[in-house]
Amino acid sequence: MKKLLGVALGILTAIGGFVDIGDLVTNAVVGSRFGLSLVWVVVVGVVGICLFASMSGRVAAVSGRATFEIIRERLGPRAAGANLAASFAINLLTLTAEVGGIALALHLASSVEPRLWIPVAALAVWLVLWRVKFAVMENVAGLLGLLLVGFGVALFLLGPDWGELVRQAVPPSPPATEHVATYWYYAVALFGAAMTPYEVFFFSSGAVEEGWTAKDLAQNRVNVLVGFPLGGLLSVAIAACAAVVLLPAGIEVSSLSQIVLPVAQAGGTLLLAVVIVGIVAATFGAALETALSSGYTLAQYLGWSWGKFRRPARAARFHLTMVVALLLAVGILMTSVDPVTVTEMSVVFSAVALPLTYVPILLVANDPEYMGEHVNGRVTNALGMVYLVIVVVAAVAAVPLMIATGAGS
């Protein structure tokens, strides 16, 4: 029974932890403009993150090396240095988006201006990283993030035309009012929102720190293969709510209040409150992971002591890196830049950064020096090469599409 609870907890936290501010905003924007005609991208993205997460989990567990250590060891100092600069910058952008997301959600719940919440949110993130036992913070954030299922509840309460929704999705039929280039721009953005690089830095480092046993690896595989698709379903629910309420009314998503409008409409203040708690938890959890990822990437590139399980005094530079990253995020947000815009940029640049982590993991997953007999099988490699092509195409197309469509406007 206890074992079953443990397995369930792992899956539930994976579901609740799947959605972050990037998924929230991108799916809502896409739903409000394209209906469900981009759902296939969510499917492609979920399969991709399942493959990527389980492969990098296996690599970390078997080799005992975390992702950025592998990048440093296999690419050589100069290529890895360029990789670090890009990964760190994009990670920082994502962290900024997540902290901004926490502030926006707290603003929705209170009437206090987001700018005042930003330093509070960053301080709260730092305090949790400093003092709270990691398993506690991960489970609390993950379980509360499950409250985002309120979007699914709202969808049912809205009583939509299911046939119409399916018609938009299969085969993908974008509305005639939108340009083809914009459609593909949002496809790349949605892909980047599903396959976030920080996930891989975060849990490969955790796998190494915890010294995953074969049992832990099996648990991780279950969490990923069951939890992530269900999390993807939550993303689709967010898009569907926008498709049902915002698309017909021609409401463009530019703030969090529009994203939760369908929820308020369907279930009133009570459901809205539940969903807001879910948003705060999901973005807070993602902010913790992204802050840790900023520490992991820099510390692993430079060979410093790192770890969320180590006393801060035994990993001083690692902890200071996270403090600096949080301060930079706060600094960027205090310039009154719109956190929703930051989020939209962060998902597109996540797509650009994806090959930087994907390629080394795929190569090392085949290296017997690191993996012993646990190298990739033929099927994994075949799927891995297919996704290599997808990932590279998305990365190359992202910036030209962004320029051509004026970032989707």
**Contact set with other proteins (CB under 8 A):** 61-65, 69, 72-74, 76-78, 80-82, 130-134, 208, 211-217, 299, 302-306, 308-314, 316-317, 319-320, 362-363, 366-376, 381, 384-385
CA–CA distance, 220 with 14 (Å, rounded to integer): 9
Coil, strand or helix at 337: coil
Rounded least distance, CB 239 to other proteins, Å: 33
DSSP-based three-state secondary structure for 225: helix
Q: Closest distance between other proteins and the C-beta of residue 82, in Å?
A: 8
Indicate the residue among 16 and 307 with the shorter CB distance to other proteins. 307
Residue among 161 and 373 whose Cβ is closer to other proteins: 373
CB 388 → other proteins: shortest distance, Å?
8
Round to whole Å and give the CA distance between 265 and 206: 40
Nearest distance from C-beta of residue 131 to other proteins, angstroms: 5
Q: Which phi and psi angles does 5 have, rounded to 5°?
A: -60, -40
3-state helix, strand, coil in the chain (%, to 5): 85, 0, 15
218: left (phi over 0), alpha (psi -120 to 50) or beta: alpha
Nearer to other proteins, 159 or 377 (CB): 377
Q: Which is nearer to other proteins, 54 or 350 (CB)?
A: 54
User: Least distance (Å) from other proteins to the CB of residue 26?
Assistant: 30
Give the span between the Cα atoms of 364 and 383, in whole angstroms.
16
How far apart CA 256 and CA 260 sit, in angstroms, is 6
Ranges assigned E (strand) in 273-397? none
- Tell me the closest approach of the beta carbon of residue 393 to other proteins, in angstroms: 17
What are the residue ranges of helices labelled H in 158-196?
162-169, 180-194
Nearer to other proteins, 71 or 266 (CB): 71
The smaller minimum CB distance to other proteins, of residues 232 and 384, is found at 384
